Structure 1
């Protein structure tokens, strides 16, 4: 079988270097060429190894783990097109700033580009969608290679974790034989520790921000998706001292566990409010301070782009700050926590009361609306979510319904979604990864097309326990397109955009031994939500009508507009 020592030493050093960099979880897809690392990972007791046979789904499962923990997660696959199937998740991780460490096993150099099976060009495979990429040397008895392995793994991991976080790629070639010595002890390390610095604002930046805050009479805090684990108590302490309205995207997770004394500042209905032309005239701010990416709401984006506030401060840890509207006037390159240390004390303004009053009136309309559309179903779902649970939203209509209907609450509910690229793929796998990381009851709100895209993701439930309830809004097609101008043209709309499939998912549920319910009415949905969850996976399929959904949403928005327009 040959000398196993060089290969064993190689993969053991790599494994320990990854753990020293903060890796606690690895997601492995089966394959021959990755055998040495797969064995090394699986035989390391302090590593949590997950299996997922579909690489595309594995990528999103790992993304969910990393998104939920804020820690680096390793993806491992064999050579060839297996590595190509990671690309969608790598792309999402790049734009969502998620620290994935993608390890692709490769053929040795002599088998590249000579027609060898399962050999493709894996060098720089993910291009500019990773922050760092390296092609490792082959295993050999060489102390210089030992040093190289440990330092390059640490260097790559440091890049993945440095702000802004993102994916990195390690391409690792192996020459046969591929077996390692399980009894061999892990060799002594040559690299010891990485230490991070502490973010802070310098005196001139602090002085500038304090000046802006004190002179502004009409100020808004706009908060997009925030990283998991951010100090929300610190945020609300700052917001209360500032007394500005806070427009909270659902992915900011500031709508949950809202302190009682900040309820009036938490604005959760702005998407509906900003559909009123009259209200928009009253709501124009002088200054906007934004944390995180631009929120989901299109009316908010259109509003800010049109009014172009005099001062727009963006707090973003990356030099490549996010400004899709082209309105940012000042970029503060720092963490949110560093910014929130600024000392300020202001009284509540008339401008803040305008937002608070309108937000209250919109909430009254929503709470008293009666319907049987997707909005009504999601409202009922959100009211049912238990304390200490997680909600994952699909893209397209689900995240917009979360934005519209998930109101502020004192319950501990954390919301996740893949909004790096806003794709509908990989959502089931991401949800399963988040649940695996957080170990809390988890709910996934998803459309039928998005669910179809990642049915393979359910395979992971055959290898690992989970607690996931999937609520599928089945409107037989792409519901969001019905709200866009394309819907006004009857020519080819259904075939090109509606894309009805006529598929239902009872047989999918049976294949994965999932608890299943088919819902046709609000009464049935309420009864189903009251039932106990009996299996690892639960699928609730809610049948709705796309045209009725559009009509109901627009009717609700019109009622809100009428009510807030009548405010003196």
Structure 2
């Protein structure tokens, strides 16, 4: 075979192996060295190809696709700093357990470390931020090269999907020339499939969990962000039988589509409740069971650290379970699945008064929030207005910093089908626009992004994706001219240097940015204006609603809400 034939066979074997392993989506950024891969993916009808010229944004776009679809997504870029720009999203994917298959094209071995252009040390570029990394051989006629490619691609996808899921890195070197012959059909491989199975707890672990539930007098269940493919019905069945307070984070997907017979047990105001000393004393538990990641709420983390439940069970698919508080007493390694239905749940010693206290306190806080929404005009009330206007079968992506915290406070349990997403692995504000776009491309649902002005500026390049594929997204930018989250932290008590280092006002608004991307644009300053715009039909696929707010007013209003909730809790339980 000539060099072009060798390269063509090699690249199509790689692409076919990805398809055989169940991969359907690929995000490609332009570049010379990745030409063979880009051509093969573009010409193969079995793949859905997405384009984004900015590699950092492209990686977050792939992250959103994989997050919402719960399927692995391929990233393709050229050599050099293009690959380095993937790093922030790879970090998020590792911590959020999102399966990404990162294909970085590279210079051949003889052009490495000799001063060749666009050549950096790419093997093991991402260190321990990926689950596995491999440097592929160059395309050649050696008989074992194509079987190596086929099996190592299967291995890469299997590793990416094996719980806990995460990113893998395949570095692929190419010599020039880089052109291939287009093929209409993918080659058939000799490797059949990689078979995996869910992780079920041992019989001993099941007994430990059943015994803990049976003995508990004051038990709570904490549900953080769950894997996107979690069968929520088994969780609802568990809740029905257990009848304990369920502290459900918004990212758990347990605050929406709530069955009537489970609704009263869903505690969605725990963050506000646990700011109150009176209620914290009442809420002391002897047993806690946690599913999913650790929640956003700092008051909840402080509460658990103080209480130190005598039994604290974490159910997690990773043996390196997440426990930054160092209070776990039992770790059950398992994916959340039908084994929950096999548990014999007999909460015989549960104190019904304790359960009712949680339910009653949650009702008090919910009523205070509803009153707050009617009376206040700050970001919290505006965010609550957004939730009220979210249509059935819609998604909301929340940025880190204040948006996710306002979601945790103001997104109350509902029977509506609304799903909440966020990047809470590394909790960064980078790549939020791109991840939201990727999420929408995966779900094809009515989608909204709630984001602050700084985070929006941080990933404004993410909007480039809208020029290459249709992106149906409403972006709500809470513009308080700076970093609102710092107003709640100790830095705000030191006036000197606060604005220049933490507030960081830019003085920018986004009408021109919306015009550049041909987005429908609205700027609003009141709740009534915001509600009206939300009820106005979209005229373009991309819509930007800029909401002008005041940072200091937000802090004062939020604290007033927490004080009101605390006052009513004190009146009820100090009488």
Does TM, normalized by the shorter one, top 0.5? yes
Are the structure 2 counterparts of residues 339 and 547 from structure 1 closer, same or farther at C-alpha, using a change threshold of 3 Å? farther
Deviations 1:368-390 (A, max 9, x none): 12111000000000010011000
- Return the match for 2:359 from 352, 356, 381: 356
Provide the C-alpha distance between the structure 2 equivalents of 1:21 and 1:441, rounded to a whole number of angstroms: 30
Q: Structure 1 residue 123: deviation in Å?
A: 1.1
Matches within 5 A, 1:497-508: 497-508=502-513
Tell whether 2:158 aligns with 1:155: no
Tell whether 2:337 aligns with 1:343: no
Deviations 1:505-528 (A, max 9, x none): 000000000000011111211111
Residues 199 and 338 in structure 1, CA contact (< 8 A), matched pair in contact too = no
Q: 2:282 maps to which residue?
A: 282
Q: Structure 1 residue 187: deviation in Å?
A: 3.3
Residues 482 and 504 in structure 2, CA contact (< 8 A), matched pair in contact too = yes
Provide the C-alpha distance between the structure 1 equivalents of 2:5 and 2:388, rounded to a whole number of angstroms: 58
Q: 1:379 maps to which residue?
A: 384
Gaps of 5+ in 2: none
- Return the match for 1:404 from 409, 430, 434: 409
Residues 199 and 317 in structure 2, CA contact (< 8 A), matched pair in contact too = no
Tell whether 2:44 aligns with 1:41: no
Deviations 1:22-41 (A, max 9, x none): 21100000001001011111
Deviations 1:213-248 (A, max 9, x none): 111010000000011131212111111101110000
Are the structure 2 counterparts of residues 339 and 221 from structure 1 closer, same or farther at C-alpha, using a change threshold of 3 Å? farther
- Return the match for 1:427 from 425, 432, 442: 432
Tell whether 2:199 aligns with 1:199: yes
Tell whether 2:495 aligns with 1:490: yes
Higher mean C-alpha deviation, range 183-192 or range 51-60:
183-192
| SS, match of residue 312 in structure 1 | strand
Q: 1:91 maps to which residue?
A: 91
| SS, match of residue 264 in structure 1 | helix
| SS, match of residue 336 in structure 1 | coil
Deviations 1:181-203 (A, max 9, x none): 11475433121111112432222
Provide the C-alpha distance between the structure 2 equivalents of 1:273 and 1:173, rounded to a whole number of angstroms: 56
When normalised by structure 1's length, the TM-score is 0.98
Provide the C-alpha distance between the structure 2 equivalents of 1:160 and 1:516, rounded to a whole number of angstroms: 39
Provide the C-alpha distance between the structure 2 equivalents of 1:402 and 1:36, rounded to a whole number of angstroms: 44
Provide the C-alpha distance between the structure 1 equivalents of 2:3 and 2:297, rounded to a whole number of angstroms: 60
| SS, match of residue 36 in structure 1 | helix
Higher mean C-alpha deviation, range 437-446 or range 231-240:
231-240
Provide the C-alpha distance between the structure 2 equivalents of 1:4 and 1:453, rounded to a whole number of angstroms: 42
Q: Structure 1 residue 2: deviation in Å?
A: 5.3
Deviations 1:79-129 (A, max 9, x none): 010001000000100111100010000001111111111111101100010
| SS, match of residue 200 in structure 2 | coil
Q: Structure 1 residue 19: deviation in Å?
A: 1.2
Provide the C-alpha distance between the structure 1 equivalents of 2:552 and 2:464, rounded to a whole number of angstroms: 34
Deviations 1:421-463 (A, max 9, x none): 0000000000000000000010000000000000000000011
Q: Structure 1 residue 567: deviation in Å?
A: 1.7
Provide the C-alpha distance between the structure 1 equivalents of 2:185 and 2:103, rounded to a whole number of angstroms: 23
Residues 315 and 339 in structure 1, CA contact (< 8 A), matched pair in contact too = no
- Return the match for 2:441 from 436, 444, 447: 436
Deviations 1:24-78 (A, max 9, x none): 1000000010010111111110100001000000000000000001110000000
| SS, match of residue 416 in structure 1 | strand
Are the structure 2 counterparts of residues 526 and 186 from structure 1 closer, same or farther at C-alpha, using a change threshold of 3 Å? closer
- Return the match for 2:368 from 355, 365, 368: 365
Tell whether 2:564 aligns with 1:559: yes
Residues 9 and 186 in structure 1, CA contact (< 8 A), matched pair in contact too = no
Are the structure 2 counterparts of residues 278 and 17 from structure 1 closer, same or farther at C-alpha, using a change threshold of 3 Å? same
Provide the C-alpha distance between the structure 1 equivalents of 2:277 and 2:480, rounded to a whole number of angstroms: 31
Provide the C-alpha distance between the structure 2 equivalents of 1:39 and 1:565, rounded to a whole number of angstroms: 67
Gaps of 5+ in 1: none
Q: Structure 1 residue 477: deviation in Å?
A: 0.4
Q: Structure 1 residue 267: deviation in Å?
A: 0.3
Matches within 5 A, 1:50-449: 50-183=50-183, 186-337=186-337, 340-341=340-341, 342-346=343-347, 349-369=352-372, 370-449=375-454
When normalised by structure 2's length, the TM-score is 0.97
Provide the C-alpha distance between the structure 2 equivalents of 1:301 and 1:186, rounded to a whole number of angstroms: 51
Structure 1: 4+ residue segments shifted above 3 A: 183-188, 345-348
Residues 16 and 187 in structure 2, CA contact (< 8 A), matched pair in contact too = no
Provide the C-alpha distance between the structure 2 equivalents of 1:548 and 1:121, rounded to a whole number of angstroms: 49
Provide the C-alpha distance between the structure 2 equivalents of 1:133 and 1:460, rounded to a whole number of angstroms: 28
Q: Structure 1 residue 130: deviation in Å?
A: 0.4
Aligned residues: 568
Q: Structure 1 residue 350: deviation in Å?
A: 1.4
Deviations 1:485-516 (A, max 9, x none): 11011110010000000011000000000000
Q: 1:27 maps to which residue?
A: 27
Provide the C-alpha distance between the structure 2 equivalents of 1:98 and 1:202, rounded to a whole number of angstroms: 26
Residues 231 and 336 in structure 2, CA contact (< 8 A), matched pair in contact too = no
Matches within 5 A, 1:514-533: 514-533=519-538
Q: 2:16 maps to which residue?
A: 16
Provide the C-alpha distance between the structure 2 equivalents of 1:185 and 1:469, rounded to a whole number of angstroms: 39
Q: Structure 1 residue 566: deviation in Å?
A: 1.7
